[in-house]
Amino acid sequence: MSKLNITHSKNHLLSGDSAREEFKLSYEQGEEGGRVQFSLVCNNIPVGSTVGFSADKPGPDPPIYLPPTLVTIFPAFITGIVSQILANYAAEITYYVVFSQTPTSGASVEFQAAIIAQS
């Protein structure tokens, strides 16, 4: 059975006061490289909104870049990419939500980075 170890996680409540809400996370890979899953977990974000992320430093294969991705299901939608990350890689990752309409209260987005491990 494989495991995921979540090494970075930030959760944000979204007010919907502006059409686009953007956040940043400092990512540090540490001394071991590996396959890393970068996810956005969207809760109560309206269908038709878009989410995405990108890192400000090259190196990972494929790059840490999720193009604008449509939220297709309510209330809980997940999307992301898997990338091979070299040891000691560090970058600032920007992630965002662009709302298709004002979200209901309780809307949130969580950014996660999880190392894929085998047990």
Partner 1 sequence: MASYNGIFERSALGQTNTVPRTGTLDTSPDIIPFGIGCVSDPGTFFSDDYEKDPSVPLEANQTNYIYLRGKNYSGNIIDDSGEQRPRLFWTKASLLLFPQAWNELTQSPSGQAFSLTADAAATGVVSEPFIWQPDNIENDHYCLIAQVPSPGYDNAIPGFNGIDQFNAWVAGHGGIAWRSAAVNNSTSLTFTGQGMGYQQGPDAFMIEFVLICKNLPVETKVSFSAGAPGPEPAIFLPPTAVNGPDFFTGLESMVPANYVSAIYYNITFPKGTTPPPDAQVSLQAWYRSGSENGIEKVIVLGSNTLHFR
C-beta closer to partner 1: residue 29 or 39: 39
Cβ proximity to partner 1, 17 vs 26, nearer residue: 26
Give the count of alpha carbons within 13 A of 78, CB side only: 6
C-alpha–C-alpha distance, residues 38 and 55, integer Å: 11
Tokens 């995921």 — which residue? 4
Residue type, 3: K
Nearer to partner 1, 26 or 67 (CB): 67
Please give the residue ranges that form the binding site for partner 1 (CB under 8 A): 1-7, 9, 37, 39, 41, 43, 62, 65-70, 72-83, 114
Instruction: Please give the biggest Cα pair distance in the chain.
Output: 44
Compute the radius of gyration of the chain from its Cα atoms: 14
CB 17 to partner 1: min, Å: 25
**Smallest distance from the beta carbon of 81 to partner 1, in angstroms?**
5
Q: Supply the minimum distance, in Å, between the C-beta of residue 10 and partner 1.
A: 12
